[in-house]
Structure 1
Amino acid sequence: MQTDPSTPAGLDGSAAALPLLAAAELQDHLMTVTHDLDRLQRLLDDAGEALSTHFYSASGHAMALLRGSDGGPAADGLQQIMQDIAGAITALQFQDMATQLIAHTSQRLRNCSDQLARDTFGADDEDGAAIVEIAPLRPNPVTQDEMDAGSIELF
């Protein structure tokens, strides 16, 4: 049996192609995940913007009613509404944390995909060497894992 000098010892052409196919499939999966995370980030941004707009509008209307009230039981109810709206606005800071985590995760996945492409297909790329996106320096941009009023760390 003759062996091809360009094929690594003990591997025929079909066995050598398997890691390339697996690497290509893995890279496709990584890129699909990053696209899904980008879409999720846009959805969160849109929802956060809509919620902010509505909460600030409701807050303005409640303040106007509070200023026009005579200080009776309705004023107490409006005051409670204002506190609830303030709590909801604070909860919207979750959107900022989620956006940071999504961006961080997307960047890490792109870095993995780029490295995989460079290391596996680098010599086969007709456009030249693959550019590898720099991996995030910090392991995690958000240290929060729960959300209480006044305890949010934003970067």
Structure 2
Amino acid sequence: MLMNEEMPDDAGEGMMPLLAAAELQDHLMTVGNDLERLQRLLDDAGEALSTHFYSASGQIGRLLGDADALPPAAAAALRQVMDDVAGAITALQFQDMATQLIAHTSQRLRNCADQLARDTFGDDDEDGAAVIETAPLRPNPVTQDEMDAGSIELF
């Protein structure tokens, strides 16, 4: 096996030196790890936002149940706050779309890193045959690029 950037004179056109391939694979894996960390941050933020929005929505709903006892201006203000909270909850769809895109991109990066390793370093080593993560079949898991208010379901 050739080490570092040594290449035989009869090396094929377009072959990548081993050191460059190893560095590229490391970069791909680092980006994949960063995406996984971003995924965890988004999951935590989405969970916290959902909990707080649903709590606020419930409390406003209870206050609106007593709207007859409130001055009309206060009841109208509570209805507006409830509409604003509902609009903010709709924005939480972002977390679901971002999760799908991150998972899709991570899978593609892993597939590229695995193929690079197999093509550069060979299919077999002391641990056995190389396992390559399957690339996503669809080019993009999320076709929506904006969010509108309406009936939503959070995941």
Does TM, normalized by the shorter one, top 0.5? yes
With over 3 angstroms needed to count, the CA separation of the structure-2 counterparts of 1:60 and 1:151, relative to structure 1, is: closer
Cα contact 2:124–2:130 (8 A) shared by 1 = no
Alpha-carbon distance between aligned partners in 2 of 1:133 and 1:147, rounded to the nearest angstrom: 32
Alignment-mate amino acid for residue 31 of structure 2: V
Runs of 4+ in 1 over 3 A off after TM superposition: none
Stretches of structure 2 lacking an aligned partner (at least 5 in a row): 1-6
* Residues 61-100 of structure 1: pairs in structure 2 closer than 5 A: 61-69=59-67, 70-71=69-70, 72-100=72-100
**Change beyond 3 A, Cα 1:123–1:101:** closer
Q: Match of 1:121?
A: 121
Corresponding residue number in structure 2 for 1:55: 53
Identity across matched positions, percent: 79
Contact kept, 8 Å, 1:91 with 1:147, in 2: the verdict is: yes
Aligned partner of 1:35 in structure 2 is 33
Q: In the TM superposition, what is the alpha-carbon distance from 1:128 to its structure 2 partner?
A: 1.9
Query: Runs of 5+ in structure 1 lacking a partner?
Result: 1-6, 12-17
Count how many residue pairs are aligned between Structure 1 and Structure 2.
143
> 2:128 is paired with a residue of what secondary structure?
coil
With normalisation by structure 1, the TM-score equals 0.84
1:46 partner letter:
D
Could you tell me the TM-score, scaled by structure 2's length? 0.84
Contact 1:118/1:129 (<8 A) preserved: no
